[in-house]
Amino acid sequence: MSAGEIDVVTGESNDEPRSENPQAGGSAVKAYIQLLRLPAVFTALADIFLGYMLTHASVRDAPVSLGLLLATSACLYLSGMVFNDLFDRRIDAIERPQRPIPSGRVSVRAAAILGTGLMAAGLGLAASLRWIDPLLCGWNPLVVATAIVAAIFLYNGMLKSTP
């Protein structure tokens, strides 16, 4: 990574100050973009779009459903990034102190509220798909979204440290 570039996985730049000072490292907006790993969300959206296109003749078939699928995926993905950093905050304080939570640029409380809000939004959007497009698929989108939420917590809580 050359000077000034942002890592799409971590959302961090290599020229970011490495300081414990909550004011260091730029704006609050930048801290939240890093926490969410916002540049990486587009890979999740591309996966949903490709799956949709493989199962529909065109976007014109159900554009609202596609939009809701994309929004659901984005919310769940972003909540997973936030909860990953919440679960890893003690390790990050040692190994990656420049991350938004251990550096103090985003509080644990604010991150928990953001992660929970995104997760709730993702579940709500998934639930709405059943009423907006009941023929979308054989699976209930809320059941799928709930399984994704379970996977987020299983991975971050137990499976990440599995040898």
pLDDT in tens, 123-155: 999 999 888 876 666 678 899 999 999 999 999
The confidence band for 52, taking pLDDT boundaries of 50, 70 and 90, is confident
| Coil, strand or helix at 43 | helix
Can you give the residue ranges of every domain in the chain?
28-161
Q: Please report which helix (H) or strand (E) contains residue 158, including its range.
A: none
- Checking if the pLDDT of 39 tops 70, the result is yes
C-alpha distance from residue 86 to each of 14, 127, 152 (Å): 22, 26, 12
Q: For residues 120 and 53, which has the higher predicted lDDT (pLDDT)?
A: 120
Closest CA to 53 of 35, 41, 70, 30: 70
In the prediction, which pLDDT does 40 show?
95
With pLDDT > 90 as the criterion, what percentage of the chain qualifies? 61
- Checking if the pLDDT of 122 tops 50, the result is yes
C-alpha distance from residue 58 to each of 2, 10, 35 (Å): 40, 34, 34
In the prediction, which pLDDT does 14 show?
44
Dihedrals phi, psi of 78, to nearest 5 degrees:
-65, -40
When mean pLDDT is compared across 11-20, 50-59, 68-77, 132-141, the lowest value belongs to 11-20
Q: Does 1.10.357 match the CATH number of domain 28-161?
A: yes
- Checking if the pLDDT of 37 tops 50, the result is yes
In the prediction, which pLDDT does 111 show?
98
| Coil, strand or helix at 152 | helix
pLDDT in tens, 68-96: 999 999 999 999 999 999 999 999 999 99
Structure-derived torsion over alpha carbons of residues 22, 25, 156, 158, reported in degrees to the nearest 10: -70
Report pTM: 0.79
| Bridge partner list, 13 | 6
